[in-house]
Chains A and B, each alone.
Chain A
Amino acid sequence: MPSAAELMRKVKEQVRQVDPTEVHDAVENGNGNRPVLIDVREQTEFEDGHIPGAASVPRGFLESRIEGSVPDRSQPVVLYCASGNRSAYAARTLSEELGYEDVRSMTGGITLWKDRGFDVEVPRALTTEQRSRYSRHLLLPEIGIEGQLKLLDAKVLLLGAGGLGSPTALYLAAAGVGTLGIVDDDEVDVSNLQRQVIHTTDRVGDSKVDSAEVSVHAINPGVEVVKYETRLDASNIMEIIEGYDVIVDGVDNFPTRYLLNDATVRLQIPVVSASILGFDGQISVFKPYDGPCYRCLYPTPPPAELAPSCGANGVLGVLPGTMGLLQATEVVKLVVSTGEPLIGRLLLYDALATSFTELKVRRDPDCPICSRDPGDISAEEMGVFPDYEAFCAAAG
C-alpha cells in the first residue's frame, strides 16, 4: 500500500493544478470564461476568511452539494483549500467520478494566495446558536450564509396583524428577518382566532401588536419587533414606512391600499400585496419601476357594494394562511434576491377548486403615479383617486 505522502503525490500528478496568480488574474480580469471558485475547507475555516466570491463546499459534502454551486459540468472550476492537498483530492473526485470537464486545484491553497498579497474576505459570522437555528437555510445554495445575513439585516413592515399578517409574521420571524414592524390599532377578539393564528385565546382583549410581539419572540427572541398601534393614514404613512426594505400589505380597504401604493412608489419600496375573500385569494408583488404598481392593475376601486370586507362576508380560516405564506415566501425571495418574484404577475387561488390562475400585469404607461419620477409625486395627491369622497362616504 502507498503511504499517505505517496498517494498525495500521485493524486497531484493526476489532477490539473493552477497557480494562485493565474487564478487571481482570471477572477479579476475575468472574461466570459471566469472560473467558479470553490473553497473545499470546513465551514469554520471558510468563515475565518476566504477568497472573495468563492463558494463554500466542504470536501466532506463535495459529492452531495457541488451541483448546487456548479450545476453545469462544462463550467471551469478552481478548487482550493488551505495548502493545496484537500483540493487536489477533491479535484480528482470532480473530474474522475462526477464528470466535471474543466477542474483545477490551486497550488499552495489560500496560504499561498495570502502570501502573494491577494485579498481575503472575512465574512460576518453567525453565532453558534444562529448557525444551528438557520442550518436548513444555510444548506440551500440559494440562501446560504450570505442570504441568511441579508435576512438578519432586513427590515420588513407588516400592515396588519390579522389574517394575512399572522402567518406572515410567524414565518418571517422563524426565517430570521431581523426587524419586523407591525401596524395595527385593533385588539384581539375571539372571532379573530379562527384564522389569526399569531394570537391566542388567553390574549383576547390585548392589543394585536402586543399579542403578535409575544408570539414572534416565543419563536425567535432575536427578532426586533417595532410596534405601531395606529391606523395607517396620510398623516403618518411616510414616517412609518420609510427605511423598510419590503412591505407586506394585507390591509382591508381600498383607500389605504391606494395611499400605500403611492407612498411606496415615491419611496421605491416593494410591496407584497395579497387579498382574500371567502375561498378566493389573490397575490402580486409591486416593485416600483421594475414592474407595474397597484394603480396599473386597478386604476380605480370598485363601488362599495362590490368591495366587501371579510368581516361582512366570511372567509375560510385556512385561506389567509395559504395566501400569507405565499407573501412570506415572496418577502424572503426579495430580501435574498433569489428566484422569480411575482412581479408583473397576479396569482389567483381558488381554494374550493384547488386551482391557481396566473394573469399578466403590465405597467401602464399613463399610470398617474408610477409613470412619473418618484420626486414628482406630491404629498397632496397620494392616496387620492377618482370619486374618493363618494367611495369613502358609501363605505361608511
Chain B
Amino acid sequence: MSTVKIPPVLRSYTGGEKEVDAEGANVGDVLRSVATQHPDTQSQLFAETGELNRYVNVYLNDEDVRVLEGLDTPVGGRDTVVILPAMAGGS
C-alpha cells in the first residue's frame, strides 16, 4: 500500500483527504486506484486517452516520474506518490 499526497486544489474531490492509501505495482496503477476510490479525481488526473494530464506533475518520493518511467514507474509499499498541479496564488 502506497501513500498518495493530494494537493490542496484536489482535496475537494477526495472528501478533504490530504493523503490517500492506494494499491498498485506502478505509478499508473496507484493513481488509477485513487481515481477508483475518488471518481471525481479521474478527469483531473487523466486525459481521455488514459495519459496523465500534462499540467499534473507526479513524483515518486522526491523524483519527477517524467525522468523515471512515467506511469510505468514501479512503486514499492513504502513509497510516497506526490501529485502536484501548479499553484499561482500570491496575494
A→B interface (CB under 8 Å): 160, 162-165, 192, 196, 249-254, 257, 274-280, 282, 297-303, 306-311, 313, 315, 320, 346, 348, 350, 353, 357-362
B25 lies within 8 A of chain A by Cβ: no
Bound Cα distance from A164 to B88, whole angstroms: 12
| Interface contact B89-A357, CB-CB below 8 Å | no
The minimal Cβ–Cβ distance linking B19 to chain A, given in whole angstroms, is: 10
| Interface contact B90-A251, CB-CB below 8 Å | yes
Chain A minimum-CB-distance residue to B5? A357
| Interface contact B88-A307, CB-CB below 8 Å | yes
Bound Cα distance from A165 to B19, whole angstroms: 31
Point out which of A275, A297, A306, A346 has the most chain B C-beta atoms below 10 A from its C-beta. Answer: A306
Question: A-side binding surface: helix, strand, loop or mixed?
Answer: mixed
| Interface contact A280-B91, CB-CB below 8 Å | no
Interface string of B64-91 (1 = CB under 8 A from A): 1011000000000000001011111111
| Interface contact A310-B85, CB-CB below 8 Å | no
Which residues of chain A come closer than 8 Å to B88, judged between CB atoms? 251-254, 257, 275, 301, 307, 309
The minimal Cβ–Cβ distance linking A288 to chain B, given in whole angstroms, is: 19
Check A276/B87 contact, CB under 8 A, given A308-B9, A357-B82. yes
Between-chain CB contacts (< 8 Å), 16 pairs: A160-B90, A163-B91, A249-B90, A274-B90, A276-B87, A276-B90, A277-B9, A279-B8, A298-B57, A302-B55, A306-B55, A307-B9, A307-B87, A311-B91, A348-B84, A357-B5
Which residues of chain A come closer than 8 Å to B67, judged between CB atoms? 362
Bound Cα distance from A309 to B88, whole angstroms: 7
B48 lies within 8 A of chain A by Cβ: no
B63 lies within 8 A of chain A by Cβ: yes
- Of the candidates B56, B64, B82, B90, the one whose C-beta lies within 8 Å of that of A310 is B90
Bound Cα distance from A320 to B89, whole angstroms: 10
Q: Interface size bucket, B side?
A: 20 to 34
| Interface contact B63-A300, CB-CB below 8 Å | no
Number of residue pairs A-B, CB distance < 8 angstroms: 105
Chain B minimum-CB-distance residue to A362? B67
Which residues of chain A come closer than 8 Å to B82, judged between CB atoms? 348, 357, 359
| Interface contact B90-A250, CB-CB below 8 Å | yes
| Interface contact B86-A298, CB-CB below 8 Å | yes
Bound Cα distance from A357 to B62, whole angstroms: 8
| Interface contact B89-A275, CB-CB below 8 Å | yes
| Interface contact A297-B57, CB-CB below 8 Å | yes
For chain B residues 5-21, which have a beta carbon within 8 Å of chain A?
Answer: 5, 7-10, 18
Bound Cα distance from A346 to B82, whole angstroms: 12
Which residues of chain A come closer than 8 Å to B66, judged between CB atoms? 362
Chain B minimum-CB-distance residue to A278? B8
Which residues of chain A come closer than 8 Å to B87, judged between CB atoms? 275-277, 280, 282, 307
Which residues of chain A come closer than 8 Å to B18, judged between CB atoms? 350, 353
The minimal Cβ–Cβ distance linking A352 to chain B, given in whole angstroms, is: 8
Which residues of chain A come closer than 8 Å to B8, judged between CB atoms? 277-280
- Of the candidates A251, A299, A315, A358, the one whose C-beta lies within 8 Å of that of B54 is A299
| Interface contact A277-B89, CB-CB below 8 Å | yes
Bound Cα distance from A54 to B63, whole angstroms: 42
Check A162/B91 contact, CB under 8 A, given A277-B8, A277-B9, A280-B8. yes
Check A302/B90 contact, CB under 8 A, given A280-B7, A359-B64. no
| Interface contact B86-A254, CB-CB below 8 Å | yes
| Interface contact A360-B62, CB-CB below 8 Å | yes
Which residues of chain B come closer than 8 Å to A313, judged between CB atoms? 89
The minimal Cβ–Cβ distance linking B28 to chain A, given in whole angstroms, is: 19
| Interface contact A162-B90, CB-CB below 8 Å | yes
Bound Cα distance from A359 to B68, whole angstroms: 14
Bound Cα distance from A350 to B11, whole angstroms: 14
Bound Cα distance from A192 to B10, whole angstroms: 26
